[in-house]
Structure 1
């Protein structure tokens, strides 16, 4: 698929902050019309300003993706404003940093409803509109944790695993039906987003992403590239590749490794404020932007991602270099034989 030049219509869930906020800006930079879905109205209005400043158009649709009727209504609102939806990016999430033994049934239910079922409802709303036209793209913002669970995030890891299985299942159905709607998943590394400021936690110290940490703009570029190139799955960051492949090869060794280091690596040295608001059931007021508090440690690019994006060109270049090398070697051998 070539890069879009028309004014595409894009829906981004979880658009008020973090990866969703950066993704909305990335599509706005090429003039897209964007439906911004999230619960927090302060962040949504700021995201709309970002989109318009970047050259796009936006409609704000306050939405809790855990409500399928609300998701369906949001899709209708976007199409009423801008026309048929070309791209739907499922990104909204909530989580809880906690040992599984201390989790409540309500905590698990809420994380599952938003972080997994929100993707299901978004995919259903998108496919209902895209299948009759036989075109469009749905992108699931995933994680290395869709393949490799880690301690203190059992609800989130479970939801990401579920998204992976759901996506693979639906993709096979689309292929069976000969449907050209693209269903993609982009597996992310640790990102510098505001979730670490507002996620519910039962930890002695403040949570942090496990290094290496990447800026949300890296994720946004990967999502936009996936839409343009129709990749079924894209891994972002060397750490994502290591986690996924490592879990395939040495899963029990990773269990032991994470059991030893997975607690401390997800916490800073600062104590948690027990009275700080969290966003599990209600949005936290205010505009948090795309970036979290780890700008000084976050990477603005991924060389692994660049390589993955250009793998065909690199393979062609390697083939050309091998051919040239073969010709040179052949000539040298022929010259030696002549002598």
Structure 2
């Protein structure tokens, strides 16, 4: 067991009502960890809380707009009062809009940044308010391959995720300077089959879709739980597509610019026309009075993968290194004979 391994008793998950947050809550609940579920939508929160309780753990669903620091701070105080000291805080909530930048209104761009980027800032601040005096705890920032490589039609999302990386890197240096035992790490995700493609605001002519290869939310959840266990690592990459995107942008960013300009529009849309009546969740939760519980998975399960070899290897680096060393030694011995 590594010296950086941590065991949480009380966790907070933002954006917990659906998608990756919902899948992560399910995995943590199986460990008996008490979970505070933060999101805007009541129906999704209540359903997520029932799943946590069915797994034998305590759940505290709290309606919170992550763009509002006062609401997040009040939620943190309530968690400490009703569940106990917060050991783990997972920032995952976001909202965005599928649209070319010039079709995105200034107030829409600002709102998306407030929910996604400032939501992470507020969540991190509140987590540190409780963790720093105790000098322990872990903060996991759920990122994306698009935190390093912007793509067309998602300027708001890419901007937010880029900003989160810069913020987190600065914070990590400050915590190291203070010799703090509070750890912060990031988990960068690939395209996932979550409900976001049904509820994000969109001005695309056709229905939005994740860019293949597509993974099920549980793949991301496994990586987030692994990061929570070992938050001493700077970052975790999930999926071969994430690794290739990040590395490719470091090596040939101009080539990727031209490739995405040519393919990025069609690859993010299905053949079906967009529903002009869909309201989007930028300003209001998708599971409001007229909505429903969306669960963890979206509509692309038939095209999604439930496992990622790259993610497994990333989580088990020592096993991978040992296997490579053994294979190398075997090859050398074979050649000598």
Q: TM-score range by the shorter chain?
A: over 0.9
Shift in Å at residue 7 of structure 1? 6.3
Structure 2 Cα separation of the partners of residues 236 and 18 of structure 1: 16
Shift in Å at residue 328 of structure 1? 5.6
Match of 1:335 in 2: none
Shift in Å at residue 39 of structure 1? 0.2
Q: Unpaired segments of 5 or more residues in structure 2?
A: none
In the alignment, which of 275, 281, 289 is matched to residue 283 of structure 2? 281
Question: Does structure 1 residue 55 correspond to structure 2 residue 66?
Answer: no
The alignment partner of 2:302 has SS state of coil
Deviates more, 1:285-294 or 1:314-323: 314-323
Match of 2:67 in 1: 66
Give the conservation status (yes or no) of the 8 Å contact 2:23–2:218: yes
Question: Does structure 1 residue 269 correspond to structure 2 residue 271?
Answer: yes
Give the conservation status (yes or no) of the 8 Å contact 2:140–2:187: yes
The alignment partner of 1:151 has SS state of coil
| Higher Rg of the two aligned structures | 1
Match of 1:144 in 2: 145
Give the conservation status (yes or no) of the 8 Å contact 2:147–2:161: yes
Report the CA distance shift for 1:254/1:5 in structure 2 as closer, same or farther (over 3 A).
closer
Q: What pairs with 1:24-39 in structure 2 (closer than 5 Å)?
A: 24-39=25-40
Shift in Å at residue 318 of structure 1? 2.3
Match of 2:79 in 1: 78
Q: What pairs with 1:160-175 in structure 2 (closer than 5 Å)?
A: 160-175=161-176
When the two structures are superposed, what TM-score results if normalisation uses the length of structure 2? 0.95
Report the CA distance shift for 1:26/1:328 in structure 2 as closer, same or farther (over 3 A).
same
CA distances 1:282-339 after superposition (whole Å, capped 9, x unpaired): 1122200000010101100001111111221121232234335545655x4xxxxxxx
Give the conservation status (yes or no) of the 8 Å contact 1:190–1:211: yes
Shift in Å at residue 32 of structure 1? 0.6
When the two structures are superposed, what TM-score results if normalisation uses the length of structure 1? 0.95
Structure 1 Cα separation of the partners of residues 165 and 8 of structure 2: 30
Shift in Å at residue 234 of structure 1? 0.2
The alignment partner of 2:261 has SS state of helix
Deviates more, 1:290-299 or 1:225-234: 225-234
RMSD: 1.5
In the alignment, which of 285, 289, 311 is matched to residue 305 of structure 1? 311
CA distances 1:77-98 after superposition (whole Å, capped 9, x unpaired): 1111111000000000001000
CA distances 1:137-193 after superposition (whole Å, capped 9, x unpaired): 000000000000000000110000000000000000000110111101000000100
The alignment partner of 1:269 has SS state of strand
Question: Does structure 1 residue 295 correspond to structure 2 residue 297?
Answer: no
Give the conservation status (yes or no) of the 8 Å contact 2:7–2:229: no
Match of 1:89 in 2: 90
The alignment partner of 1:296 has SS state of helix
Give the conservation status (yes or no) of the 8 Å contact 2:120–2:164: yes
The alignment partner of 1:190 has SS state of coil
Match of 2:326 in 1: 320
Give the conservation status (yes or no) of the 8 Å contact 1:2–1:228: no
Q: What pairs with 1:118-197 in structure 2 (closer than 5 Å)?
A: 118-197=119-198
Give the conservation status (yes or no) of the 8 Å contact 2:100–2:153: yes
In the alignment, which of 232, 237, 240 is matched to residue 239 of structure 2? 237
Structure 2 Cα separation of the partners of residues 257 and 324 of structure 1: 41
Question: Does structure 1 residue 109 correspond to structure 2 residue 115?
Answer: no
Give the conservation status (yes or no) of the 8 Å contact 2:6–2:228: no
The alignment partner of 1:166 has SS state of helix
**Corresponding residue pairs, total:** 331
Report the CA distance shift for 1:228/1:6 in structure 2 as closer, same or farther (over 3 A).
closer
Give the conservation status (yes or no) of the 8 Å contact 1:13–1:37: yes
